[in-house]
Structure 1
Amino acid sequence: MNVNIDPNKFLPTEAINNLLGPSSKALGHSLGALFYFIFQKPIKYGIIKEKEFDDLASKTSKELEQIPPEDKDSSKSGLIMKAMEEAQYQLNEEDLRQMFANLIASSANRQKNSFITPRFATVLSQLSADDARFFKLIVQDAHYLLTYGYLIEYIEEKFGPYHNLTDKFFITSNGNFMRLPQESVDVLSSLGLIKDTDLSYPDGEDVNNIYTKIESTLKTYATSKNKELIEFKKGSITITAFGELFAKAVLN
């Protein structure tokens, strides 16, 4: 493929024009050609809405503007193409469009593209919008450590068989009490982005205060025939080493 072709001949959209503007001229024609190559047929046959494509291209252009000229690097066109290819399946969700725009721009940034692999785009393509938002919450709201808790109830006697009495809950930085989205936890864990455990948990005054708030809230609403058989379980979610690199590439 000749990446020096002028995509304006094929996709004369405002988004592509913006992409080829002065703010990204060092990479504009190359990226514009890749956009054309990947999205021409899906747009032509109505598989992708042009409005959603324009939004992705505009978001990508905006992210490119943030890269210092000396750090712009068009040598990783394979990574950029991989991100665009995977983005085709997620354009209906704005959060994911932004994350793909970030990944495309990161792949064109020499400060980041040294640690990016094709797996980043594959992983991002496998996230739902809810998965993506929860990952973003762990990184940006919980600062890589999310603590949660839940109640169990022993069936006959303590330390014997038990069942979960409540769902798992956590508290956001602004004090919202929220159910842990176990479906997203399972997805993020399976992709190697996070580690979830209730076999061990962090310590410290701030963390213990959070656990205490979760426990007291859950016990206020929990019902049991024998409250002596109720126990509070602590858990935590941390970002893996791969998850940290992924976050640097797909989140602002």
Structure 2
Amino acid sequence: MSVDPNQIKDLEQVIPKSTLELLLNPIAQEIGYSLGGLYYAIFGKLIRYGAVKKAETDALIKQVSEKYTQIPEERRTDANKGLIFKAFEDSRYSLSSEELRNLFANLIANSTDSKYLNKNSPYFSTVLKNLSVNEALFLNKFKYTQSIAITKVRFTDSKDRQFFTDYKQDYVLNKNDNPKKETVSIYSKEIDTLESLGIVRRKYGQFNNSERNDLSKIKKHINNKHLEKNLNGHFELDINSKKRPEIFLTQHQYDTVNIIPGSLELTELGQSFVEIIFA
């Protein structure tokens, strides 16, 4: 491949020398040169005019380059130039977050890997662009599994079970190296976003056998005895002690608390998405 010295000079203006050497070593490596060119096309003018922070764009291309050099040479491909361009473009909105920047770097680098050709999608950078840091961190729970246990609290009237109210849902176990320090949190906002983007789906009333232990732990963390004691149609609930008690109003005299088990699963699209951004 013939490399235009003027184009190399342009790249040197926006890409740190040590990072550029990773991309262009050897200099005639077409895919690495394409990566640098696509990066320059998106960030060249933005960097010159101070529209983005140089330190953040430097960090992005450095992560992309390091990941790219780890891909076996026989698997490198430039078939996804359009996806890479779009991913660089979408990453502009997430550069300030180290977590999101790292996921974009993984997506961009893995777009040069033939291993993911049939799993990649231009939609994936759109998904990342629409995630908050909390939602991205929540996705870490799926790094080594395709589903996790979730539960919800349901109030019912034992005399007439047609009346019920789902008080809170989407309790998830926060695992820890020390089981005694495990906690539960509600992740409805994160799950709502990921479900709306087609990455996960809620399935209450059914769960996988592998989730039984986690479901049991979540149930122990929810003080349903405390809830049952206060069920009188108008009462204060204080499930999360760090927050102010919530007032729950109802026309029905609920007298039973049920913990409904469920499973939060990656969709097929979500499985490919998670595999690529965490690879």
TM range (shorter): 0.7 to 0.9
Aligned-residue offset at 1:220? 5.5
Match in the other structure for 2:183: 177
Aligned-residue offset at 1:121? 1.3
For residues 113-165 of structure 1, give each alpha carbon's deviation from its aligned partner in whole angstroms, at most 9, with x where no partner exists.
Answer: 2331211111121111111111121233xx11110223222257452323344
| Equivalent of residue 227 in structure 2, options 223, 227, 231 | 223
Q: Distance in 2 between matches of 1:39 and 1:240?
A: 33
| Structure 2 gaps, min length 5 | 232-253
Q: Does 1:250 align with 2:277?
A: yes
The structure number with the bigger radius of gyration is 2
| Equivalent of residue 232 in structure 1, options 259, 264, 267 | 259
> In percent, how many aligned pairs have the same letter?
26
Match in the other structure for 1:56: 60
Q: Does 1:36 align with 2:40?
A: yes
| Equivalent of residue 162 in structure 1, options 158, 161, 164 | 164
Q: Which has the higher strand share?
A: 2
CA contact 2:110–2:276 (8 Å) conserved in 1: yes
Judged with a 3 Å threshold, the aligned counterparts in structure 2 of structure 1 residues 178 and 19 are, in CA distance, closer, same or farther, namely farther
TM-score, normalization: structure 1?
0.87
Q: Distance in 1 between matches of 2:155 and 2:169?
A: 12
Q: Distance in 2 between matches of 1:195 and 1:25?
A: 45
TM-score, normalization: structure 2?
0.79
Aligned-residue offset at 1:90? 0.7
Aligned-residue offset at 1:56? 0.4
Aligned-residue offset at 1:20? 2.9
Counterpart secondary structure, 1:195: strand
| Structure 1 gaps, min length 5 | none
Aligned-residue offset at 1:222? 3.4
Match in the other structure for 1:195: 201
Q: Distance in 2 between matches of 1:104 and 1:23?
A: 20
Q: Does 1:144 align with 2:146?
A: yes
The number of equivalent residue pairs is 246
Give the counterpart letter for 1:51 in structure 2: A
Q: Distance in 2 between matches of 1:30 and 1:145?
A: 37
Aligned-residue offset at 1:53? 0.5
For residues 190-241 of structure 1, give each alpha carbon's deviation from its aligned partner in whole angstroms, at most 9, with x where no partner exists.
Answer: 111111121x31243x533322222222136733335951111112100111
Q: Distance in 2 between matches of 1:63 and 1:124?
A: 18
Judged with a 3 Å threshold, the aligned counterparts in structure 2 of structure 1 residues 49 and 155 are, in CA distance, closer, same or farther, namely farther
CA contact 2:199–2:270 (8 Å) conserved in 1: yes
